[in-house]
Structure 1
């Protein structure tokens, strides 16, 4: 891994225009840099330079995945891109892609900030785990439906309460379980209530 002294010296030369630029880097809107086979920086684009200037540290290694030298080697040896490698930079979450140039033995590293995306995915995963925990352990029937009442999934309590396993309920219309005398009333009222309110409680008999 490059030392902080090496990086500081290299960044100073780059800012002074004493290093050759790669023209295509300047047109990349995402922060990106060019690395040699030893993961030493060869060039970086204005977007990444702006990040470093704003951070006022000049610590390029802090932005990269901690194992980026190994990623550069693997990228060149296997001659394939390595994508979506996560790195934490303070409170920001970065996703890096490493794209090889085997003929010149160098790698383009491109970055995108994914803090909002990754945090949303983690929150969604936590919500799904909580939903599974609740539905798999409750004695109540919990189910999800399409707007027309088709079952998407149901908790295991469906067997005790309805005599159907969750797998049997999927793609089944809820109204097919209603008592024939209740079919005329609940469904139209439910659909009318769901549109403005988003939720509705009803009581009905099953067959």
Structure 2
């Protein structure tokens, strides 16, 4: 039984948008942790850490996100390692692996943007490796990491639409469900596109405000 598209159908689309935001938030959180580890490894003096971090970044960035989603959702459960691979878990895991590689490059670039004199000054003060990064390098690298990090978050929100292919009810999948109910794909996906635009535009404006208000004053 078909239904005429009306404002009531916007509710499931908004619920899908909320799930998309949650999905991307946790994916960026876990991906950010992976990225920090990779970024520190890539800039360390340990050659093995350099090689492994570079291998991870190049491998993940060289594989389409859709393939990563398929590998996580369809291939990993076949290993029988006792983990419940629900649609939500698979979506977060796949996006976290994907985000980790890109955040690793962002963190690496941010650390390498800090003048070498700061590293030498920290070492001259007798700071340990972790003290040097915690008190000297990371605070200065943040102004190079946060803006592209927010930019990547915006891109991740759009790329996350691919998880709809495994049945996760994100914004895109919610739009498809509404489209099937109403037989009105134009109205359904125009609303979906508008919601994506509002989310991404809002984040970009927030990033611009944050950069001007907090980062430039600390240069």
Q: Which has the higher helix share?
A: 2
By relative contact order (CA 8 Å, sep 6+), the higher-ranking structure is 2
Q: Which has the higher strand share?
A: 1
Check whether TM > 0.5.
no
Bigger Rg, which one: 1
Tell me the TM-score normalized by structure 1: 0.25
Tell me the TM-score normalized by structure 2: 0.24
